[in-house]
Amino acid sequence: MNAAGIRIGIGIDFHRLVSGRKLILGGVEVPFELGLEGHSDADVLLHAICDALLGAAALGDIGHHFPPGDAAYKDISSLELLSRVRELLAQAGYLALQLDSVVIAEAPRLAPYIGEMRGRIATTLGLPVGAVSVKATTCEGLGPLGRREGIAAWAVALIWQASSEKGPPPFDPV
């Protein structure tokens, strides 16, 4: 670890699209005829962000902290899981500084919902909205994601170890 206490983590998640479920991405319900299959609300974006944050702090992964077979997490909001990850980071002496993420989905079109996603993520983590990036792309029809069989997300998190001698780096989001 460097002297400034900065650490970086990466997260990735995939879920299959199915009938009979709401589509929740970034804590936002997105109108669509299919939803994501999973034990919780199956929010691939928040799951990838949770894993990026946990990974940056070397605290394991989302499945370790919130096992998919545990009834306590059945249909739980992934915003609640993200809030608990924030608490785990704080208990370990870390603070989230910045997130960058991308959702890979052939459909639906996500651009109209990205601002709300960023706001919910930022609020949950206590970050300025300018510290949270959410992007969306497609697979141009290639592979299982391109055939609309599922949705995936990748995230990168920057965290700071509060116990380091220096304070957090200055943050001035664009």
Is residue 17 within 8 A of residue 149, CB to CB? The reply is yes
70 burial level (CB within 10 Å; 0-12, 13-18, 19+): exposed
Per-residue pLDDT averaged across 129-145, rounded?
A: 95
The answer as to whether 74 is a domain residue is: yes
pLDDT of res. 74: 92
Strands 24-25 and 28-29: antiparallel
Give the tens place of pLDDT for each residue, 3-27. Answer: 468 999 999 999 999 999 999 999 9
**Total structural domains in the chain?**
1
Structural domain that includes position 137:
6-161
pLDDT level of residue 134 (50, 70, 90 thresholds):
very high
- Does 174 map to a domain? no
Task: Please give the structure tokens belonging to residue 11.
Answer: 């997260």
Q: What is the pLDDT of residue 162?
A: 82
Q: How many CB atoms lie within 10 A of CB 68?
A: 11
Question: Under DSSP, is residue 14 helix (H, G, I), strand (E, B) or coil?
Answer: strand
* 2 has a pLDDT exceeding 60: no
In the chain, what's the furthest Cα-to-Cα distance?
51
Give yes or no for a contact between 46 and 26, defined as CB atoms under 8 angstroms apart: yes
Residue 12 counted as domain residue: yes
For tokens 């609309």, name the residue: 148
pLDDT > 70: what percent of the chain?
91
Q: What is the pLDDT of residues 106-127, one digit of tens each?
A: 999 999 999 999 999 999 999 9
